[in-house]
Amino acid sequence: MRYHLMNIFRLGIKELRSLKADPVLLVLIVYTFTFAIYAVATGARFEVDHAAVAIVDEDRSGLSRRIQDALLEPLFKRPVEIASSEIDPAMNAGQYVFVIEIPPRFEQDLISGRTPSIQINVDATAMTQAGNGAVYLNSIILQEVATYLQQRQLEASLPINVVLHAKFNPNLKSEWFTSVMQVINNITILSIILSGAALIREREHGTIEHLLVMPVTPLEIMLSKILANGLVIVTAASLSLLVIVERLLGVPIAGSIPLFIAGAIIYQFSVAALGILLATYTNSMAQFGLLAIPVLVVMNLLSGSTTPMESMPVWLQNVMQLTPSPHFVSFAQAVLYRGAGVPIVWPDMAALVIIGVAYFAVAALRFRRVMTSFH
């Protein structure tokens, strides 16, 4: 046993030295845990943010201008006035997500109690902005009309006072979400690529043969790769979480960071085992790349880190449960945002362990058979 541990340790040191000697990989790691997280968190927002709006104002009254002025950044870009003949071509070309049409004599009709209509055209192919944006526009318009009629605040006129609290992210800022999910996605990408590539590199350079004739077992080889790469990735991810996410992006972290790191270690193990498993199915780095990329894309996009898990069909949710990423996403959301502790998240952790061990076992079974044959 002691020998096994020593071997894993020595091979792990070797693995770290190899990584140190590969500046391209190091740059890749730094890039993914810094710039890539910052850029995506601040760049790609799923919330209504700077949505492009146009207004067809055929009323040209004080009220219509009021409505126009009420559309403010950051929800909307400054509205652009267009003619009603331009609506179709402009929306066809995707220049605006929303076009508000205010009919002639709108203000007059309102005052004389004729219940005029205002139309919001929504480009319903802009999935992330159309629905929520329309809701916002709707309530902004109603609010403006209500204030115009010198009523009290609109809400006050309702017989119920609804108080909405968004827990864990009161202002529903998407970078709070995206940044942490990017950290997770990048752990996935790097764990699979680094561990798989480390194995394929040994195979392509013939060094794996060398290891296999020495008094070293395949388990030791696999574990040393997972542990060494895991050490680097988990360290980088934790730093990224503390420096980029918490400090730079100002995302408050509710839960216990040590717990998150513990989970990340388990997750990294299971994903790295998957990387090694994938590597045993390919003969070259090129094939590994071709196989790994779709796996990564699916694991990242369908894990619940981009779109809600419950929006997926049930069968697909079940299939995804066989991969580690949905468990870790739900674990990370619970710990980091909701401040959950072990009593709450242990089922996810257990699932990660089981999945990881299963991948690792299959990889170990295939390892020796596959690693030495080049045919």
Partner 1 sequence: MASDAPDETSPIGQPPVIEVRAVQHRYGKTAALDDMTLSIPAGCMAGIIGPDGVGKSTLLALVSGVRRLQEGEITTLGGDIRDARHRRETCSRIAYMPQGLGKNLYPTLSVFENLDFFGRLFGQPEAERRERIAELLKATGLDPFPDRPAGKLSGGMKQKLSLCCALIHDPDLLVLDEPTTGVDPLSRRQFWKLIERIRARRPGMSVLVSTAYMEEAERFDWLAALYDGRLIATGSPADVMKQAGESTLEAAFIKLLPTESRAGHEPVVVRPRSTHDETLAIEAEGLTCRFGTFTAVDHVSFRIQRGEIFGFLGSNGCGKTTTMKMLTGLQPATEGEAKLFGQKLDAHDMNTRRRVGYMSQSFSLYGELTVRQNLVLHAELYRIPADRTQARVSEMLSNFDLADVADERPESLPLGIRQRLQLAVAVIHSPELLILDEPTSGVDPIARDNFWRYLINLSRNDGVTIFLSTHFMNEAERCDRISLMHAGKVLAVGEPLVLAKERHAATLEDAFVSYLEEASGASQEAEAEEQWSDEGIDTRKAQTQTRLFQFGRLWAYARRETMEILRDPIRLAFALAGPLILLLTFGYGISFDVENLSYAVFDQDRTYESRQLTENFRGSRYFSEKPEISSSAEMDQRLKTGQITLAIEIPPGFGKDLVSNKRPEVGVWLDGAMPFRAETARGYVTGLISETAAEAARSRLGRDATLVPINVETRFRYNQAFKSIYAIVPGVIMLMLVLIPAIMAAIGVVREKETGSIANFRSTPVSRLEFLLGKQLPYVAIALVSFVTLLFVALVVFGIPVKGSFMVLACGTVLYVIATTGFGLFVSSFTSTQVAAVFATAIISIIPAVNFSGLLVPVSSLSGAGRFLGLAFPAAWYQPISIGTFTKGLGFRDLWLDLVVLLIFGVVFLAAAQIALRKQEP
User: Total binding residues for partner 1 by CB under 8 A?
Assistant: 130
116 binds partner 1 (CB under 8 A): yes
Which of positions 48-77 make contact with partner 1 (CB under 8 A)? Answer: 48-52, 77
First and final CA of the chain: distance in angstroms? 34
Residues contacting residue 207 through CB under 8 Å, at least 6 positions apart = none
φ/ψ of residue 79, rounded to 5: -65, 145
CB 55 within 8 A of CB 68: yes
Nearer to partner 1, 131 or 250 (CB): 131
Q: Which of 30, 242, 243, 293 binds partner 1 (CB under 8 A)?
A: 293
Cα–Cα distance, 52 to 85 (Å, whole number): 18
103 binds partner 1 (CB under 8 A): no
CB of 105 to partner 1, least distance (A): 13
Which of positions 127-146 make contact with partner 1 (CB under 8 A)? Answer: 127-132, 134-135, 137-139, 141-142, 145-146
Nearer to partner 1, 104 or 289 (CB): 289
φ/ψ of residue 214, rounded to 5: -90, 170
Which of positions 182-201 make contact with partner 1 (CB under 8 A)? Answer: 197
Which of positions 139-178 make contact with partner 1 (CB under 8 A)? Answer: 139, 141-142, 145-146, 149, 154, 156-170, 172-174, 176-177
Half-sphere exposure of 266 (CA within 13 A, CB side): 24
Burial 194-222 (b: 16+ CB within 10 A, else e): bbbbbbbebbeeeebeebbeeebbbebbb
Nearer to partner 1, 53 or 269 (CB): 53
Cα–Cα distance, 304 to 317 (Å, whole number): 10
Nearer to partner 1, 60 or 205 (CB): 205
Mask for 222-261, x = binds partner 1 (CB under 8 A): ----------------------------------------
Nearer to partner 1, 200 or 269 (CB): 200
Cα–Cα distance, 55 to 71 (Å, whole number): 10
Q: Which of 86, 306, 353, 370 binds partner 1 (CB under 8 A)?
A: 306
Count the Cβ atoms, other than its own, within 10 Å of residue 122. 17
Cα–Cα distance, 301 to 30 (Å, whole number): 22
Q: Segment contacting partner 1 (CB under 8 A): 235-243, 260-268, 299-307, 351-359?
A: 299-307
Cα–Cα distance, 43 to 349 (Å, whole number): 31
| DSSP letters spanning 266-292 | HHHHHHHHHHHHHHHT-SSHHHHHHHH
Q: Segment contacting partner 1 (CB under 8 A): 228-236, 278-286, 349-357, 358-366?
A: 278-286
CB of 1 to partner 1, least distance (A): 13
95 binds partner 1 (CB under 8 A): yes
337 binds partner 1 (CB under 8 A): yes
